[in-house]
């Protein structure tokens, strides 16, 4: 689990995670898997470790939950 200090750092640096967030948006939209399995998919897709995948996924969930436009990252990457 990401602690509050780490979470604040990640939120300030979310552009660093844009590629991951776009991937997660597209995975959610596809409906092919239960999103609780997304960290494992990220490990395979990006070659990252389990902890990093879980932290990125948790950050994406927090941003998705609070976003006015949940697909903000996909739209930003397309522009």
For residue range 47-69, list pLDDT tens digits in order.
999 999 999 999 888 877 665 66
**How confident is the model at residue 11, as a pLDDT?**
56
Closest-CA residue to 45 (of 4, 75, 32, 67):
32
For residue range 9-40, list pLDDT tens digits in order.
555 556 778 899 889 989 999 999 999 999 99
Q: Which 8-state DSSP code applies to residue 69?
A: S
3-state secondary structure 25-56: HHHHHHCCCCHHHHHHHHHHHHCCCHHHHHHH
In this model, does residue 46 exceed pLDDT 80?
A: yes
To the question of pTM greater than 0.85 for the whole model, the response is no
């Amino acid at each position: 689990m990401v602690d509050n200090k780490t979470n604040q750092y990640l939120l300030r640096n979310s552009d660093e995670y844009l590629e991951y967030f776009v991937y997660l948006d597209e995975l959610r939209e596809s409906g092919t898997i239960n999103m609780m399995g997304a960290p494992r998919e990220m490990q395979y897709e990006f070659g990252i470790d389990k902890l990093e995948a879980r932290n990125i996924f948790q950050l994406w969930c927090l941003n998705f939950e609070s976003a006015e436009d949940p697909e903000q990252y996909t739209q930003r990457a397309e522009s």
